[in-house]
């Protein structure tokens, strides 16, 4: 199985999908607890939700392996994204609910994290970095949209219900102010979904690392509550009816990025 799937576009936008993968190496699959084997923490069906990217000529990079192998939206140095708050790490050993990922006696061993970084994390990030440079050479700038989703209620990670659409720009540091304003204006103008900019999710390692407006690289993260397009209970089935209502808004936002500097 390839580490990631990739489709090249010629617009200045690249969509990164780091958490939708569900593949597990056989040796890892045998070590997971029954709870972890459900892969409940997956960003389910994101490629299906964003099925309009091809028509917008947008580059897309999609992880094929589960975040339980390695979390592509975490820094390899293990630095916390939200100091003082509960979060999962580079190679998670607990689920979002706090359950163990590994069976007793089958936990991570010394050197395993470094090997997973080399095998799975580095190829994804090397490809993303090359695409950013390609788009910068072609357009003079590049824009990253980091696409995520999460259950509406995960008490261990945050209190209460999340807004439906959570835009993150590293509190304004990962993209130009006018780009953030344009996206946020689109969110504010609609009345179907609750929204926030730089709330509980301000952008993960991808947004923070690659977003550098001074170097003409702009990055935003979109964290979508899963009830807006799927069923959040076990089975995690896609709901085309819900998705059909959400897609036009997502398409409008990404189209704004495609056109923003034209």
- DSSP letters, 193-221, are S-EEESSS----HHHHHH-BGGGTEEEEE
Confidence (pLDDT) at 80: 76
Q: Which pLDDT belongs to residue 160?
A: 92
- Give the chain's domain count: 1
Is 90's pLDDT higher than 80?
yes
**Across residues 158-174, what is the average pLDDT?**
96
Whether 206 has a pLDDT exceeding 80, the answer reads yes
pLDDT value at residue 83 = 77
Asked if 34 contacts 102 with a C-beta cutoff of 8 angstroms, the reply is no
pLDDT by residue (tens digit) across 172-186? 999 999 999 999 999
Local structure of 132: helix, strand or coil: helix
Write the burial class of residue 63 (CB in 10 Å: 0-12 exposed, 13-18 middle, 19+ buried). buried
Smallest CA-to-CA distance from 120 within 60, 65, 75 is with: 65
Answer yes or no: is pLDDT of 98 > 90: yes
Query: What is the rounded (10 degree) CA torsion for 118, 63, 180, 153?
Result: -110
- Average pLDDT estimate for 209-237: 96
In contact, 144 and 216? CB cutoff 8 Å:
no
- The pLDDT value recorded for residue 18 is 98
22-36 pLDDT tens trace: 999 999 999 999 999
Name the DSSP letter for residue 89: -
Average pLDDT over residues 68-92: 89
Distance CA 223, CA 104 (A): 33
Rg of the chain over all Cα atoms, to the nearest angstrom: 18
Q: What is the pLDDT of residue 56?
A: 97
What is the CATH number for 42?
3.40.630.40
pLDDT band at 261 (very low <50, low <70, confident <90, very high): low
Rounded to two decimals, the pTM is: 0.97
Query: Residues 101-126: pLDDT tens digits?
Result: 999 999 999 999 999 999 999 999 99
Share above pLDDT 70 across residues of the chain, in percent, rounded to a whole number: 99
Domain extent at residue 29: 4-259
Res. 224: pLDDT tops 80:
yes
Q: Is 169 helix (H, G, I), strand (E, B) or coil?
A: coil
Contact 44, 20 (CB under 8 A): yes
State the average pLDDT for the chain: 96
How far does the chain reach from its first CA to its final CA, in angstroms? 38
pLDDT at 262: 59
């Amino acid at each position: 199985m390839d580490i990631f799937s990739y489709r090249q576009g010629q617009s200045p936008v690249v969509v990164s999908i780091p958490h939708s993968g569900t593949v597990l190496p056989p040796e890892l699959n045998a070590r997971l607890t029954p709870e972890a084997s459900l892969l409940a923490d997956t960003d389910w069906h994101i490629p299906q939700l964003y099925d309009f990217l091809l028509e917008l000529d947008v580059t897309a990079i999609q992880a094929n392996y589960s975040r339980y192998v390695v979390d592509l939206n975490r820094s390899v140095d293990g630095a916390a994204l939200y100091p003082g708050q509960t979060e999962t790490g580079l190679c998670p050993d607990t689920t979002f609910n706090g359950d163990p990922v590994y069976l007793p006696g089958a936990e991570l061993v010394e050197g395993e994290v470094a090997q997973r970084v080399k095998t799975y994390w580095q190829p994804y990030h090397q490809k993303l970095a090359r695409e950013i440079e390609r788009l910068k050479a072609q357009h003079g700038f590049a824009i990253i949209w980091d696409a995520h989703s999460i259950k509406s209620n995960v008490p261990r990670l945050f209190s209460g219900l999340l807004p439906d659409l959570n835009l993150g720009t590293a509190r304004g540091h990962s993209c130009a102010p006018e780009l953030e304003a344009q996206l946020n204006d689109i969110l504010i103008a609609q009345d179907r979904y609750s929204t926030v900019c730089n709330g509980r999710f301000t952008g993960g390692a991808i947004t923070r690392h690659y977003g550098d407006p001074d170097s003409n690289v702009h990055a935003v993260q979109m964290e979508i509550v899963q009830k807006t397009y799927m069923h959040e209970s076990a089975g995690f089935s896609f709901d085309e009816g819900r998705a059909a209502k959400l897609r036009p808004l997502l398409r409008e936002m990404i189209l704004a990025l495609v056109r923003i500097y034209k």
